[in-house]
């Protein structure tokens, strides 16, 4: 087995290679003047099993194209098997038609990966696991819930925190985390307008006064959810409020807004690299999973 990093996940892929003691396939990437990516595999991959690591955060389309081109090229060069590790799988929220005529982009992209020769997809905390698993039958799909792993890591620091999810969809995650941290969890009720994207929220019947609160979500994008939940919690004067998510997709000003509101710390994982945030390294967890399943 060998590893090849996609241009979006070079640092993470190198860490995973180190953890697994696997060699990194020699490769050359560059950007042309018009920003197209040039990709070249510089050693034989014939009959090899290749772990291709590429997250698909902003610019999503560019990262997807790179992933598809790399996967296809590896197969074309004779790789026996390509396992695509996609720490953040973008477009997963476009999994159903809320309005007639909407594109089912999630299914379309999984089908494209399948057509490019990808044998297995491993992703983390995908938006809707059910839609992911039913998106294409002939490709192996694995969704890793990173909360199981990071919960163990956070145990010593967060055992006197109450864990809060911003909506019912977060229940499984906050429950998992609260169990690992040996604490209680609470949920907000959230509604989002499909057309305007406006978020409305109702706080649980609980007093956050003087409590250590860990607000948890799988993903932060516009920050609307985290900001509104934070506002409602901060109004009740908690001792501290921290925010934890797996995929941090927001622009820097969103994190700055949260900090200015009074959120003491923002923690994410490095499924999407971000030097401004405190990031939990997922490389050891991915390596552990690969070791148990494939080696």
Q: Return d(Cα 110, Cα 135) in angstroms, integer.
A: 7
Tell me if 129 contacts ligand R5P by CB under 6 A. no
Binding window for ligand R5P (CB under 6 A); candidates: 5-13, 15-23, 213-221, 277-285: 213-221
Among 86, 166, 238, 266, binds ligand R5P (CB under 6 A): 166
> What phi and psi, each to the nearest 5 degrees, are found at residue 4?
-130, 125
Tell me if 266 contacts ligand R5P by CB under 6 A. no
CB of 101 to ligand R5P, least distance (A): 22
CB of 223 to ligand R5P, least distance (A): 5
Spot the catalytic one: 141, 190, 211, 227. 190
Binding window for ligand R5P (CB under 6 A); candidates: 31-39, 61-69, 135-143, 215-223: 215-223
- 106: three-class secondary structure by DSSP: helix
Tell me if 119 contacts ligand R5P by CB under 6 A. no
Structure tokens at 269: 């994982």
Tell me if 165 contacts ligand R5P by CB under 6 A. no
Q: Return d(Cα 125, Cα 85) in angstroms, integer.
A: 13
Binding window for ligand R5P (CB under 6 A); candidates: 58-66, 97-105, 164-172, 268-276: 164-172
Tell me if 217 contacts ligand R5P by CB under 6 A. yes
CB of 87 to ligand R5P, least distance (A): 17
Contacts of 149 (CB under 8 A, 6+ apart): 282, 285, 288
Print the SS3 string covering 154-188: HCCCCCCCEEEECCHHHHHHHHHHHHHCCCCEEEC
x/- string (CB under 6 A) for ligand R5P, residues 220-259?
xxxxxxx---------------------------------
Q: Long-range contacts of range 56-64, CB-CB < 8 Å, 24 or more positions apart?
A: 56/8, 56/86, 56/88, 56/89, 56/90, 56/91, 57/8, 57/88, 57/90, 57/247, 57/249, 57/272, 58/249, 60/90, 60/91, 62/35, 62/37, 63/6, 63/7, 63/8, 63/90, 64/90, 64/91, 64/109
Tell me if 218 contacts ligand R5P by CB under 6 A. yes
Binding window for ligand R5P (CB under 6 A); candidates: 23-31, 34-42, 102-110, 216-224: 216-224
Are 12 and 4 spatial neighbours (Cβ–Cβ below 8 Å)?
no
Q: Would you call 275 a catalytic residue per the annotation?
A: no
Binding site for ligand R5P (CB under 6 A): 166-167, 169-170, 217-226
Q: Which residues are catalytic?
A: 190
């Amino acid at each position: 087995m060998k590893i090849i990093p996609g241009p979006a996940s070079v640092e993470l892929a190198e860490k995973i290679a180190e953890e697994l003691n696997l060699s990194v396939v020699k490769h050359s990437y560059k950007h042309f003047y018009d920003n197209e990516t040039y990709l070249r595999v510089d050693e034989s991959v014939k009959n090899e099993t290749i772990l291709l690591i590429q997250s698909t955060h902003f610019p999503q389309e560019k990262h997807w194209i790179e992933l598809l081109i790399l996967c296809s090229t590896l197969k074309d060069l004779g790789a026996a098997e390509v396992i695509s590790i996609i720490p953040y799988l973008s477009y997963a929220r476009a999994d159903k038609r809320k309005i007639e005529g909407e594109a089912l982009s999630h299914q379309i992209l999984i089908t494209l990966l399948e057509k490019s020769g990808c044998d297995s997809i491993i992703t983390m905390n995908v938006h809707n696991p059910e839609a992911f698993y039913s998106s294409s039958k002939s490709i192996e799909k694995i969704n890793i819930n990173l909360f199981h792993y990071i919960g163990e890591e956070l145990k010593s620091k967060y055992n006197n925190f109450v864990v809060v999810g911003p909506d019912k969809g977060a229940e499984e995650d906050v429950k998992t985390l609260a169990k690992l941290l040996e604490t209680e969890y609470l949920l907000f009720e959230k509604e989002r307008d499909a057309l305007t994207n406006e978020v409305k929220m109702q706080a649980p019947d609980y007093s956050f006064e003087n409590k250590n609160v860990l607000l948890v979500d799988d993903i932060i994008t516009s920050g609307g959810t985290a900001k509104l939940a934070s506002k409602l919690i901060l109004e009740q004067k908690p001792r501290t409020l921290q925010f934890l998510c797996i995929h941090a997709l927001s622009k820097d000003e969103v994190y700055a807004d949260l900090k200015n509101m009074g959120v003491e710390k923002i923690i994410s994982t490095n499924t999407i690299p971000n030097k401004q945030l405190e990031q939990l390294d997922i490389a050891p967890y991915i390596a552990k999973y690969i070791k148990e399943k494939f080696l």
